[in-house]
């Protein structure tokens, strides 16, 4: 009987093997390596947009949230290049962010804030929050979208499809139920 090919790969110089491939970010979490992840929304978007989960794979930057492990991959999670790239991505996302987290309905459950905290001091140095909500759009009678908090996860590419479920699954506080029955 033919044996299944074992997938062998390295993470930060350490050898690993798997009988079946799996998502890189999920495997990193399994072995206790914490990398931010923000735009992937289970059952809704496949990620790959916000770039806060970048790692280095065989000397190239790649998103870990939407790529599977392949044989002979050499993954570096905390190389200078990977750390800088993640910091750049988070800086980009917060460059137009109001940073008024204390008054945000998503406080304590925001993927962008989580990414910011995981990524540490490097980002704080260049963090210049706008301090204002610059671009708010009323989507329907009881839903509003604050673009200054959006991380472009892809759920709102078509704003006509935004409903209460989308509000619940927005990774940040960008979508909010207003004048509702909460």
Which residues of the chain form contacts with ligand SF4 (CB under 6 A)?
145, 150-156, 166, 170-172, 174-175
Triad 3, 4, 7: Cα angle to 5°: 135
C-alpha to C-alpha distance for 72 and 175, rounded to whole angstroms: 41
Minimum CB separation of residue 118 from ligand FES in Å reads: 12
Which of ligand FES, ligand SF4, none does 49 bind, CB closer than 5 to 8 A by kind? ligand FES
Contact assessment for residue 17 and residue 6, using Cβ atoms and an 8 Å cutoff: yes
**CA 178 remoteness from chain centre:** 25
Q: Which does 50 bind (CB under 5 to 8 A by kind): ligand SF4, ligand FES, none?
A: ligand FES
Closest residue to ligand FES in the complex (CB) = 65
If contact means CB under 5 to 8 A according to the sort of partner, which of ligand SF4, ligand FES, none does residue 28 touch?
A: none
Question: Using CA atoms, how far apart are residues 48 and 54, in angstroms rounded to an integer?
Answer: 9
**Sites of contact with ligand FES (CB under 6 A):** 37-40, 47-53, 63, 65
């Amino acid at each position: 009987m033919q044996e299944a090919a074992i997938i062998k790969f390295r993470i930060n110089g350490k050898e690993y093997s798997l009988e079946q491939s799996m998502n890189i970010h999920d495997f990193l979490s399994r072995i206790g390596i914490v990398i931010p992840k923000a735009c992937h929304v289970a059952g809704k978007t496949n990620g790959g947009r916000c770039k806060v989960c970048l790692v280095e794979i065989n000397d190239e930057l790649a998103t870990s949230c939407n790529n599977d492990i392949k044989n002979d991959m050499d993954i570096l999670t905390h190389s200078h290049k990977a750390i800088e790239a993640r910091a750049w991505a988070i800086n980009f996302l917060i460059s137009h962010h109001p940073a008024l987290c204390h008054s945000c309905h998503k406080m304590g459950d925001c993927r962008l804030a989580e990414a910011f905290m995981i990524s540490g001091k490097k980002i704080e140095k260049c963090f210049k929050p706008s301090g204002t909500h610059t671009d708010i759009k009323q989507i329907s009678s009881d839903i509003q979208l604050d673009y200054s908090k959006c991380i472009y996860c892809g759920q709102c590419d078509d704003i006509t499809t935004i409903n209460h479920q989308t509000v619940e699954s927005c990774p940040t506080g960008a979508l909010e139920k207003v004048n509702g029955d909460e």
